[in-house]
Amino acid sequence: MNKTWSGCAAVLLLCCAGAVSAGAPPVGSMAPEFTLPDQHGESISLASKRGSWVVLYFYPKDATPGCTTEACEFRDNIFAFRKAGATVLGISVDDVDSHKSFSTEHSLPFPLLADSAKKVAASYGVLYRALGVMELARRETFIIDPEGRIARHYAKVDPKSHARELLADLAALQKQHQAM
């Protein structure tokens, strides 16, 4: 199956998706902990990021049009995220090898975490079943504050503008956080 067809098939599957997991944890609650392998097979835990801001974005499938656009937007804005003191972590239910290929092809300078068991996507309420056959993560993002609490949740994401939206909201959240 060529990339164009597999991307179109993934989009079609997403359009016909149904819920699998419970809702997302509420803003203000502790973010569900996890440890997952990145595209290099190294384990990364949310706990290891405590003390800094985390942009945790879930996406459906490596190498599909919307997911590629979103990942490249994060890549193109990575220095702004780093300047803001935020770590970007991407999660999908694809495996480590898929993430490695996707990351290499698009020179992604941040971890893509493999949630092959789908437990993390379920714990964040983003796991979906497409056409009753394939389980995928919905395109949603969470900003997690330095204490490990969910500061903002984005249930609707535009892959083309989401990174810039996050940077603006992150600056506002950091200002509020400092005022506390």
Of the listed 8, 15, 16, 67, which one is catalytic?
67
Residue with the two structure tokens 């900003």: 143
Give yes or no for a contact between 80 and 114, defined as CB atoms under 8 angstroms apart: no
Give yes or no for a contact between 55 and 81, defined as CB atoms under 8 angstroms apart: yes
Closest-CA residue to 142 (of 91, 99, 104): 91
Long-range contacts of 64-68 (CB under 8 A, 24+ apart): 64/6, 64/7, 64/10, 64/11, 65/7, 65/11, 66/11, 66/139, 66/159, 67/92, 67/139, 67/159, 68/102, 68/106
**Known catalytic residue: 8?**
no
Q: Which residues are catalytic?
A: 67
